[in-house]
Structure 1
Amino acid sequence: MPGSRPSALSRRTFLAAGAATVGAFATGGAIAAAAPDVLAEANTAGTTLARAARPGGARAGGYRKLVAGPGWPLYVRQELATAKAGRSRTRNGLAAFVQLTDMHITDVQSPARFEYTHDLITGSAFRPQEALNTQGAVSLVNRINSLSGGPFSGRRFDAVVTTGDNTDNRESVELDWFCKVLSGGSITPNTGAANRFEGVQNFGSTLYWQPESAIRDIYKERGYVQIPGYLRAAIAKHRSPGLNVPWYAVLGNHDDQYLGTIPNNILDDMYLWSVKLDVPATNPAAGQIAQAMQSNPAALGPLMAALRVSGPAYPVTPDSRRRPFSNQEFVRRHFDPALTGPGPVGHGFAAPDGPTWYTFQIAPGVLGIAMNTCNSLGLSDGSIGDRQLRWIQRQITAHRDQLVIVFSHHTSDTMSAALPNPDTPGERQYDGTALVAMLARHNNVIAWVNGHTHNNRLIPHRGSTAEHSFWEINTASHIDFPQLARIVEVVDNADGTLSIFTPLIEADAPYTADESDLTPDGLASLYRELAYNDLHTDPERIGKLTDRNCELLLAHPLR
């Protein structure tokens, strides 16, 4: 996703967000209000309702250590239905699950990356914390496993659903690490040479944080410090216990195509190169690459071929595990018995050679529909093909006696790529507006859960009647700060309404990182703190308080 450096004003706004005054606000005539009475009855331990990371004091350069701060309040959102008194005494939990999204498990040493564009067009090209993302992801698994269930319903989690961008660059080894994070097993987050780090953080360029070097890079100017042993610890073997509940996977654009934005087959040979490029911004090629990435990806082939010969480049050890996987291989990998973990077999996909979309039973009476909204034309935004759209309509109709929640990577407003999809030649593509309209024609759809934006947003979609309305639940990533996942609880209030609770959770690593602690838990703590201090941190990703921990009201469509 595009990134930019926050202004001083926006960073101040971000710092103030955690201490924002609890009150009420009007949205289109409907009221969203803080609800301390509802919150008082919940088991908030381990969620951001109890406590959340906040910045401490700044050191030279502006780097801030994180500390444990107060929890964020619960807001009741009533745009689609009115909250009735006494519902907390009569409600019954129908389903509870955890949404993970945009984990971006990354092979940071891969030649098939464009880190040198991070200061030109997209901050996501290089993140100072990215070498620690398997440790951070395992810490998030530990958090989920530590929770007894939904804080409001008390219901044990029925599932975990990850809504895409599970990998960063569709590498086979990234997919293997991702599956082991969720299903359990040993992970060695290293490729290429077995005994050394061969990435840009060890090349000496001042464009990146050089954690083991005294070089004065642009990150150390902002207060990052030298950490001896950091890179060796980052690539060391560690273990995930795996989730203790069934998990399901959805494709994202980074799982679907080269870096999520470049058509496949143009640069696929780069995955197995024996050199890794590091083009300084002063090199005219850097600007040419940035322009091609934005407007003409086909031009990247000749550009990269020339740079492979001329450099600047560093030798790296080729690794066949970096081979890109296809969508079909993504599905098949989920049927690997070694990666089944808590199940189910296939993690939702119907068959090893089946489609990339499917249905699954979240809980009795609550059906999940996993969609594939990726368009492989070389676009980060998405669309949905006619065949899949018609299939979704049939599933919703066939299960009209159940509540339906749909899942995708893209949001309604990032499904704007209604252009021909190479994966479905000749098939008409539909945008997010069309999908919202289709979902609103069915009275049993209650929510659409998605990721992609790396932001927290909760969006009401009002249909022709109260029963034809639903909520869109968009959750921030686990690669960029604030590094969150979301619990989703569906409860029947027994008064003609449903409530969907949306409390956010953080990984269970310590809030304040200790640079001398290079254990997996210590690295997970550092993962979050480095992300907060990234030069490209966007303070808006955390969302408004009313996009975080909420009770979303809607009419019960089956009562």
Structure 2
Amino acid sequence: MSAPHLPSVGFATPPPLTLHRTWSGGEIVRTGREAAYRQLDIGGGEAHLLRDELAPGASRWRGAAGSVRGVRSLLCLAHVTDLQLADVQSPARFEFFNREFADPRFRDLVPVQRPQEALTTHAVDAMLRTLNRIDAGPVGSRPVDLVVTTGDAIDNAQWNELEAFLALMDGGVVRGRSGAHRYEGVQSVTWPDDVFWRPDGAGPAGEDLFRAHYGFPHLPGLIERALDDFTSAGLRVPWLACFGNHEALIQGVGVVTPEVEAALVGGLKPTRLPPGIDLDRAVEIFISGSHAFLGGDDRPVTPDPSRRPITRAEFVEAHFRSGARPDGHGFTEANRRTGTAYYAYDTEHVRLVALDTTCVAGAADGALDVDQVRWLEERLVEVHAQYETPDGTTVRTGHDDRLVVLFSHHGLDTLTNRRGVRPGVDGSDVVGAPELLRLVHRFPNVVLWLNGHTHTNGVRPRPHPDRTGAGFWEVTTCAVVDWPCQTRIVEIVDAGEGMLALACTMVDHDSPQHLTGAWAGGMGATGGIPVQATGSASPHAQVDLAALHRELAANVPWAGLESPLAGTVADRNVVLPIRAPFPLARAY
């Protein structure tokens, strides 16, 4: 691999592409028993890395002047995934599972709660404002055509979470509170558990685990400020939607049973594991009957009907709002009629195909059924002049060629769910990842698959098993909710000489390095964040909350600076060459 020199972006005030700057651990603010809490430092940029696994010899693109020559951008999009906007006061979030973090029997159920999660709406708002400032991709210089989301926009399959997501993306008032006017969640100083970070200070039993062991700060008033209403300007470009497991399932894992549906809008919130649960079967019990975990100690909270669970059909229907761009954010009238969430969307040069990989029968990993795979094959045939049958026979269609980008919540490595895509189905309708990969390889115009789910940056070549230089690239982007809290610009450019280049560039949201003014005092032992009496956070406060969200995420012991979530340099700013599957100049 080698790093090509790329053309300058030329921004007067550049948005924070990681080509220009990167974040790393900085000054120690406070030391806990096990680790230190750090602020973040800004370092130098990270140049694009050329990965030539699917196109050996592509380094010849680098000319004497050091730039990629002859580029003609065909599509520029931003990839946003795994926001996991959470109702942090929901009665049917089982945050107490975090106490079982070291128990391998709970590996697929934790973490439920994050120290920074009440601030995530502000981080998302900052990211959208940053994307609005990006006038063109750094390689092809094409304006951003659209934003593609790949699921888990919300956390717990709740209506009020979906309302917050749509207000952020389309513009409108973002409401962070539910239930009571004052916060009633697990980060309260009165909550009977010390496993959660308490920004307001020590509880009745003393310091919480995050303060004592990891040096987290006291920031009195933070949660109340974070939950204040604010107005989002929304995205200035069209955006496409996608259905993920957290849109469908409790905590992205458990089926919404009638008992859980009642608990969501009710007035009791569990605080401990109930007695008598078979912990060896904890995951299986939660998948099919998460209400079994409602039977332990609880405490009263304020009921709220807006916490009601949503179905896939309701998720789709909610996107058909006045002013949506495009109409339905990609979802179609066929989706409204059938209750499905997969569709095709054509840009000037590229067909985008959204897959629904969520298994509403339960469990976090994904699956596709035979009906959707049959539909996918039909949509691929429509944009291929020729393709292969399963036995290798070439079929000529008479159709015009178009490049194809797939996007979905799950990637190939997490399409492992065999429960059956629909409740009550035994799994016989499920198409596994190997079969799906063979299908995609029969259609050479598929050059890219975008996805999320793992919260980790990753770039993988998917070479054709029989043809050297053929195949597609699979690109997984990290979560906004977790470190490194980034999104990704993806460009498809005609690089000439029968080659395409897929250029990927990570984007940080544009918020300060450190808290400013009165906010900074909260990093000590006694200072705090003033609670605004008006109930409407100022723009300055929103920016600081976004900065604090990133800093908190960086210090989470299992998912911060020292975790693998950011990926390697080969998973972030990369140029991915691939041979064009048809003559681009003739087709476009």
Q: Provide TM-score, normalisation by structure 1.
A: 0.88
Shift of 1:314: 2.0
1:275 is matched with: 268
Q: Which runs of 4+ in 1 moved over 6 A?
A: 41-44
Does residue 367 (structure 1) correspond to residue 342 (structure 2)? The answer is: no
Which amino acid in the other structure matches residue 579 of structure 2?
A
Shift of 1:224: 1.2
The farther-off stretch of 98-107 and 297-306 is: 297-306
The within-5 A match list for 1:26-45 is 32-35=1-4, 37-38=5-6, 45=15
Which deviations, in whole Å up to 9, do the C-alpha atoms of 1:406-451 show, x marking residues without a partner?
Answer: 0000011100113322259476211222211111111110000000
Distance 1:299-1:137 versus aligned 2 partners, 3 A rule: closer
Secondary structure class of the residue paired with 1:321: helix
> Which among 41, 46, 49 is matched to residue 16 of structure 2?
46
Q: Measure, in 2, the Cα distance between the counterparts of 1:503 and 1:332.
A: 32
Does residue 225 (structure 1) correspond to residue 224 (structure 2)? The answer is: no
Shift of 1:284: 6.5
The within-5 A match list for 1:347-496 is 347-351=329-333, 352-354=336-338, 355-361=340-346, 363-400=347-384, 401-422=401-422, 425=425, 428-463=429-464, 464-466=466-468, 468-496=470-498
The farther-off stretch of 105-114 and 206-215 is: 206-215
> Which among 133, 139, 147 is matched to residue 120 of structure 2?
133
Aligned residues: 514
Contact persistence 1:101–1:485 (CA under 8 A) = yes
Q: Which stretches in structure 2 are left out of the alignment for 5+ residues?
A: 101-105, 385-400, 520-528, 530-540, 584-588
Which amino acid in the other structure matches residue 38 of structure 2?
R
Contact persistence 1:76–1:550 (CA under 8 A) = yes
Q: Measure, in 2, the Cα distance between the counterparts of 1:238 and 1:290.
A: 42
Which deviations, in whole Å up to 9, do the C-alpha atoms of 1:205-255 show, x marking residues without a partner?
Answer: 311111112331111111112112212101111111100000001111111
Q: Measure, in 2, the Cα distance between the counterparts of 1:173 and 1:422.
A: 25
Shift of 1:490: 0.2
Secondary structure class of the residue paired with 1:212: coil
Which amino acid in the other structure matches residue 308 of structure 2?
R
Cα RMSD after superposing both structures: 2.1
Does residue 306 (structure 1) correspond to residue 295 (structure 2)? The answer is: yes
2:187 is matched with: 201
Contact persistence 1:258–1:264 (CA under 8 A) = yes
The farther-off stretch of 520-529 and 68-77 is: 68-77
Shift of 1:41: 6.9
Which amino acid in the other structure matches residue 422 of structure 2?
P
Contact persistence 1:486–1:505 (CA under 8 A) = yes
Contact persistence 2:255–2:288 (CA under 8 A) = no
The farther-off stretch of 79-88 and 55-64 is: 79-88
Q: Provide TM-score, normalisation by structure 2.
A: 0.84
> Which among 78, 81, 91 is matched to residue 111 of structure 1?
91
1:29 is matched with: none
Secondary structure class of the residue paired with 1:353: helix
> Which among 540, 548, 557 is matched to residue 535 of structure 1?
557
What is the percent sequence identity of the aligned residues? Answer: 32
Q: Measure, in 1, the Cα distance between the counterparts of 2:249 and 2:482.
A: 20
Distance 1:238-1:38 versus aligned 2 partners, 3 A rule: same
The farther-off stretch of 224-233 and 158-167 is: 224-233
Distance 1:516-1:542 versus aligned 2 partners, 3 A rule: same
Contact persistence 1:466–1:554 (CA under 8 A) = no
1:94 is matched with: 74
Shift of 1:346: 0.3
Secondary structure class of the residue paired with 1:53: strand
> Which among 305, 323, 328 is matched to residue 320 of structure 1?
305
Secondary structure class of the residue paired with 1:503: strand
Q: Measure, in 1, the Cα distance between the counterparts of 2:71 and 2:295.
A: 65
Which deviations, in whole Å up to 9, do the C-alpha atoms of 1:108-141 show, x marking residues without a partner?
Answer: 1000111111131354211000011111110110
> Which among 197, 212, 219 is matched to residue 200 of structure 2?
212
Contact persistence 2:419–2:425 (CA under 8 A) = no
